[in-house]
Structure 1
Amino acid sequence: MKSDAVRGHLDGLLLAVLEPGPLHGYAIITAVQRRSGGALELRTGTIYPALNRLERLGLLSSSWQSVGERRRRCYELTDAGRAGLAEERTAWREFTMAIGSVLDPVARPGHAV
């Protein structure tokens, strides 16, 4: 899928995969890819700036965790992030409904198609 298709929806994707619990960067990339059935492949150069921005906005918090001798930064939703995710979902539903109405109209009695 074209990376342009993700533009404008990246925040919602990141917030959604973090909803179940904290993840580190590579696990976030893997979760998006798995949940999209392989259709979406995010790059580290795309997600880390977005994660940092979401953290600055107070939608995410992060902490360093050690795994063996490696350290990795894990991100999780804040209360504001959960509210932001709810807003993203509402906006997505409205967007897909509007686009769907144009691309795949359903004939309804009394409505012109």
Structure 2
Amino acid sequence: MSQVNAKTPGNQIPWFQDQEQYDVKLEAKLTDERQLTKIIKGDYSYTLYRFTYSLEKLIEGEFPHKELIFYIERQFPTRESGIVYKELWPFNKTGSLIFKLRKGEKRFDIVSIEN
């Protein structure tokens, strides 16, 4: 956890939430995506990624870093499982994302990710 300055609930994607309270709103662009580990359990693979986003625009609040760095775990069916699954995956190198953050004790909590 010392390699990141933000976290998501359970390392999952916090989709757009209108009612969520936040302290910081920023726009950032993906600069690095690293696959850290991948395991297969039954019909699913679990992959842990570390994402680095460079700050493009601070919309609200204060953010003392030039980059937003966090983990995301991706759960996806294996080919052998035969499970058909469509996933929304917002992390791509084209375009920017809007992040809403809440100040946490040691790092920022990402409460919403929006296109």
TM-score (norm 2): 0.25
- Between Structure 1 and Structure 2, the one with more strand by share is 2
- Between Structure 1 and Structure 2, the one with more helix by share is 1
Higher relative contact order (CA 8 A, sep 6+): 2
